Structure 1
């Protein structure tokens, strides 16, 4: 069954974690594209301000306070979207939290709370969205990470949750395909993104961490998400750095382990004063997309742009394969000539 998705200008889009980082950038881009948007987050005061901002910009927007760890609250958000707009066409499970610290030092209650948001939040959102999406067709978009496929030290609980999100998303996709359901299921896998990720994380380290470079702008992820909202795609890596990391981890796992075990901690270390925060249990109130503490930020990704356009990606891969084949043939002819 070929899945057809509406143009963004004809869609209603629900976004969780809409008041910060990737979710905030996605909401702003969606409104610019003409979509009607339901904003979902834990902080009602921040939602009020964002609603006012986007409405003043000409957007048709509504909002609902919900903690994604509570399925009932997300069901209320879905009901509110239908009551306001009559339906929704895309549901984006974006809300996420993190911790920094060695796994042995991370309290189990913190790890459980992280999973309540990162994993169960995706499960709850997906199960709440599916009845409407299966009825009218649409897109379910889950936020994974490059760390859905790879791993680094000091973020073990977060990485485990993103592996779980990938397993859930990929299995759900298969089951919907088997049922011929008109639902596109996409997993977005960002590289390091210049959001408030570090500042909002619960930090158990004795230093202020950072995202290892290169770091990309949240707008790059927002564009990938909204592309998936209107173009069925299985998954999208945001940033070539993340795709390269995953490639090395898969191709040479032992080499990857040795490199990252030696360099992984220092790559995340800074001399900045440690920020005390606990995004696991508290909610942000500022409407900030970017941290500003990640040095040079890449505003675009050639890799992601080509991945969004499959024909161009295929042409590049085919061209690369042809060049490699020609090189191998030329080497073989040279060897034969020397014999």
Structure 2
């Protein structure tokens, strides 16, 4: 059994980790930390876990995280990098759901997250936790920095176009028009996510710049092996969970005869958590709710020179906790789907 610890288990990604790991046949939940809720049974905070999780929250200094095989950080940015050196020296592997180990350039990290990076040497060895792209590197990683929820949808939506060794689309004018439910903002009191503010409303934000843009650009350029240009506009929509990303790419004249539907199907043929839907499909966020599945539909309106790629995922599962468990499975040599076979819930 894999002894698992979770740092910061009181947020939405934390409770998702608990939900998934409680049903994982090879995971043993060993510790979950919260200084404020020290001593409180997890099931008292999250009644959905009654009968499934018997742990109580404990203050970090009591949690004996160094006895775990792997520790997940479902914490604000900056926490994982502060604790990483001690855990790694004890032989513990780390999966961080925040941004501490996503961006390889420390100056870029400091610009977008407003704090210095405290362990750049560990950052150098950290692996970006997008299994469909970095599976081999994840397998031997000591530290995995999970992608953000938006970047997961954008990178997996555009990867087949960029991974062909030559440009098929105009890679300097890619556009990502993305929508997220309010759980993406975290489990905290904030005016913009109050019911009276977010319900019956739809708005863009971060248009002048969003911290997920440099992360996504970094990932797409690694896939393509060359510079790319991306315009990313996120939106908040009045739903609890889910991401819908509409991606636009202009087809180059020499690529007009390519069957892009077949290209996507071939690229993801052996991926258990990416579903390339039949031609003409319109995936819905509810078709992936509470699951680790990401669904993609490829459109070419009027057989013109514009590709429209539709991508849906659950931001808390494939966009966060589920992807973390997927990475854990890879790191410990398990079936990648173990503990992640939940059927999406409907309605």
Provide the TM-score with structure 2 as the length reference: 0.41
The structure with more helix, counted as a fraction of residues: 1
The structure with more strand, counted as a fraction of residues: 2
More RCO (CA 8 Å, sep 6+):
1
Higher Cα radius of gyration: 1
Provide the TM-score with structure 1 as the length reference: 0.41
